[in-house]
Structure formats: structure tokens, C-alpha cells
């Protein structure tokens, strides 16, 4: 079996080499010529999979180590009897933790408490539901929007009533996007947030996009930001990646190079998922356990006499686990890079982003008396140990 794989999929050669010849490639340089004799393609979101890539190949199976699908022509795969799988939900916790890190940075900069905020979540699938779970731990009021889930749960039934119309999110203090990028179907999301939508938001709204760049009309967003200086924007995804809009980067409060889902835990989980999918499709009796060592766990201690309130203590834990400002500062260097090298610089930031672990890899040591705080930290996923 011959496999062409994106070199950015962690441990992919190690995982599949027991039963396949694995060739690693830059995902943006995977061409029809390179994959002509491959049996399997293992890809990420930077490679478009359609007739142009596959038409003259012998590829039998495609797997994407990502949650998103907008780079995959599923109709073509199905019509040509090519198997497919993706790592749906593999990085959901990672993205949700990115959202929390960003919000705690903004809370510190703008001096607000989460209990005073209402958060609108657009898209309540694997990632959105995890965001909701973590934010509800903070006592945040939530407004949930997901038309497909509302329809699936039955219009007018009690279960569907928890999903509100998009118009009802306009009053939210914070809006975070977790939808796939689609241009057709019953609920297209391309340019979902356009000038009309943006014009109805609160002047000081916080807008977070970790979904796909095309979900927001970037021209409309730039124009809106130009006359709404109190609005805060967190952008991890951009149209025309890796050649992103530098003006929009300058206007954003936090801007990162599409790395919200890039925890070490999430990436390894994605590799495990596509490994299992390939073995299942070809009926292979192989097992793989990653032979690697993740970085040691973080260890934090809240002093016995500390007067930090719960939000400040949680902020300390979250930002010690992952502080989004590091990745944002790196992307801020983009305007100083020559025009010819900017796309490569963006990709290099993704390729070489600092290793980060998810919350369960952080142990928080607390005085026995902080039981409420201990409960919240455990709900967020942290390991908690107490001392007297």
C-alpha cells in the first residue's frame, strides 16, 4: 500500500509504516502528479481534494486529520467509490480552550467579569458544545444558535427550543463562531456575518472566529471596525490563507495563524482517528500506540492565604496552560515580512507553533478551603489536588 501524507500530521509515518510505504509532502504541494500511484491520501485542510487532484489517480481512500470538510469534494468521492474519513471532534477541546484563553486575556485588558456577560454561540456541534460546556462552568448566560440541530431535534419540540434564531444573538456581549464553511444547502454559512448583521451588534461586542475565514465577510468587518473602535475581534481563521489581509490583522485584538486546534493532544488524537479509519476500511488488523512523550504536566499552586477570587484564579490556571498572546505576537510580525515571504511565514508559524497541552495536563494545587474553586477547575478539565 502506498500512502501520500501531509508532513504536518504528527507521527503519521511511524503510525502507518508497519503496513504501508509512506511518502511525506508539504500539504500545499500535493499535486495530481504526486499522488497518481497512491492508494491512500492522508491530508489536512490546506489540500483541496476534488476531481482536479484525483481524476487520474488510483486513490481508494482519503482521510483528513481535521474536523472541517470545506476542502473536500464529498460528492466526487462518493460518486467515484473513494472511501473517506476525517478526525471529527479531535480538536474540539483545543479550540474551546483557545476561546477561553482569548476571553480571559480580553477580560483582563477590559476589566469585566464573565457572570455579567451573555455569550452567543453560533454552531453547537463538537466544538461549539464544548465551548458551551466550559463557559457554563463560569456561570455565563448562553444563547445557542444551530439551525441544523434545531431542525434535527424537531421544530416546536422542547429540545429544539434551546436553539435560538440568529437574530436573538444580536444582543449578546460575546459571539463565537463554530460552524463549517458551506455555500449551498439549507443553511449556508459563507458570509453569514455580513454588513447587515454586524451593523446590529452592540458597539462593544467581542467577536471570535475559529471556524473558517469565509464565514465572516472580511470587507464588511474591516469597514465596521473602522467606525466601531470599542468592538473587540479575535480571529484565528482568515480568507485566502496563507495570504491574509494585513489591514484586518492590524484591526484585530488577537490574531493567530489558524492554530486554535493545535494542541499536542488534539493533533495526536487526529492521527489515531485516521489510523483507525484506514485500518477499518481496508480490514487491517493493526494497532498503533503513539511512541512519544508529551511534555511534562504543568504544576501550579494557589498560596494558602491567597485572596484571589475564583475568576482570577481560573484565569491564572488557563493562561498558564495556554496564553494566546504568544501566538498573536508572532503573527503580528507579518507586516514586516517581505510580500513574497508572507505566505510562507504564515505556514511556518503553523508548522512550528509552540507545543501546548490541554487543560487536563495541568495540575492545580489548592488549599482545602477553596472547594468551590476546585469544583470549577475540575469542570474545566484541570487536575486538582488540595493541601492543608
pLDDT tens for 20-48 read 999 999 999 999 999 999 999 999 999 99
Instruction: Out of 44, 86, 130, 258, pick the active-site residue.
Output: 258
Is 301 one of the catalytic residues?
no
Decide: 103 and 95 in contact? Cβ < 8 Å: no
Q: Lay out the sheet containing 362-367: strands in order across.
A: 298-301, 362-367, 383-387
Residues 124-153 have pLDDT tens digits of 999 999 999 999 998 899 999 999 999 887
pLDDT classification of 65: cutoffs 50, 70, 90:
very high
Q: What is the DSSP string of 313-324?
A: HHHHHHHHH--T
Q: Which residues pair with 149 in a beta bridge?
A: none
pLDDT beyond 60 at 156: no
Is the pTM here over 0.75, yes or no? yes
Residues 166-183 have pLDDT tens digits of 999 999 999 999 999 999
Instruction: Out of 212, 224, 357, 370, pick the active-site residue.
Output: 212
pLDDT beyond 90 at 346: yes
Instruction: Tell me the CB-side half-sphere exposure of residue 225, using CA atoms within 13 A.
Output: 19
Q: For residue 20, give Cα distances in angstroms to 12, 14, 146.
A: 11, 10, 41
Instruction: Out of 228, 241, 348, 365, pick the active-site residue.
Output: 241
Take residue 209 and report the three cell numbers written for it.
Answer: 472566529
Residues 227-236 have pLDDT tens digits of 999 999 999 9
Q: Where are the alpha helices (DSSP H) in 27-88?
A: 51-54, 74-79
Instruction: Name the percent of the chain lying above pLDDT 70.
Output: 96
Is 241 one of the catalytic residues?
yes
Decide: 54 and 75 in contact? Cβ < 8 Å: no
Is 348 one of the catalytic residues?
no
Amino acid at each position: 500500500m502506498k500512502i501520500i501524507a501531509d508532513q504536518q500530521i504528527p507521527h503519521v509515518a511511524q503510525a502507518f509504516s508497519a503496513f504501508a510505504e509512506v511518502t511525506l509532502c508539504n500539504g500545499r504541494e500535493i499535486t495530481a502528479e504526486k499522488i497518481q500511484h497512491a492508494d491512500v491520501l492522508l491530508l489536512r485542510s490546506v489540500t483541496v481534494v476534488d476531481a482536479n487532484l484525483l481524476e487520474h489517480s488510483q486513490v481508494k481512500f482519503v482521510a483528513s486529520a481535521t474536523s472541517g470538510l470545506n476542502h473536500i469534494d464529498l460528492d466526487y468521492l462518493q460518486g467515484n467509490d473513494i472511501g473517506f474519513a476525517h478526525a471529527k471532534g479531535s480538536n474540539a477541546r483545543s479550540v474551546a480552550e483557545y476561546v477561553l484563553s482569548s476571553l480571559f486575556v480580553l477580560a483582563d485588558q477590559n476589566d469585566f467579569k464573565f457572570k455579567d456577560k451573555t455569550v452567543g454561540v453560533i454552531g453547537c456541534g463538537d466544538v461549539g458544545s464544548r465551548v458551551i460546556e466550559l463557559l457554563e462552568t463560569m456561570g455565563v448566560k448562553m444563547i445557542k444558535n444551530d439551525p441544523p440541530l434545531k431542525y434535527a431535534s424537531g421544530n416546536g419540540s422542547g429540545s429544539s427550543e434551546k436553539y435560538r434564531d440568529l437574530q436573538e444573538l444580536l444582543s449578546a456581549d460575546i459571539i463565537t463562531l463554530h460552524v463549517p464553511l458551506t455555500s449551498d444547502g439549507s443553511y449556508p454559512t459563507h458570509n453569514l456575518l455580513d454588513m447587515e448583521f454586524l451593523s446590529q451588534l452592540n458597539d462593544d461586542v467581542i467577536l471570535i472566529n475559529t471556524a473558517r475565514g469565509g464565514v465572516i465577510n472580511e470587507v464588511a468587518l474591516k469597514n465596521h471596525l473602522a467606525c466601531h473602535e470599542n468592538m473587540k475581534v479575535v480571529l484565528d481563521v482568515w480568507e485566502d490563507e496563507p495570504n491574509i489581509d494585513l489591514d484586518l490583522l492590524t484591526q484585530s485584538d488577537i490574531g493567530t495563524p489558524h492554530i486554535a486546534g493545535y494542541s499536542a493532544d488534539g493533533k495526536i488524537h487526529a492521527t489515531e482517528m485516521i489510523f483507525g479509519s484506514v485500518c477499518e476500511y481496508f480490514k487491517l488488523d493493526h494497532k498503533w500506540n503513539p511512541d512519544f512523550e508529551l511534555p511534562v504536566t504543568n504544576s501550579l499552586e494557589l498560596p494558602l492565604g491567597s485572596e484571589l477570587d475564583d475568576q482570577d484564579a481560573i484565569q491564572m490556571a488557563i493562561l498558564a496552560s495556554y496564553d494566546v498572546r504568544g501566538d498573536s505576537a508572532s503573527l503580528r510580525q507579518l507586516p514586516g515580512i517581505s510580500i513574497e515571504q508572507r505566505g510562507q511565514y504564515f505556514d511556518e508559524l503553523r508548522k512550528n507553533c509552540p507545543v501546548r497541552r490541554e487543560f487536563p495536563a495541568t495540575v492545580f494545587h489548592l488549599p482545602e478551603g477553596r472547594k468551590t474553586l476546585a469544583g470549577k477547575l475540575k469542570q474545566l478539565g484541570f487536575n486538582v489536588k488540595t493541601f492543608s
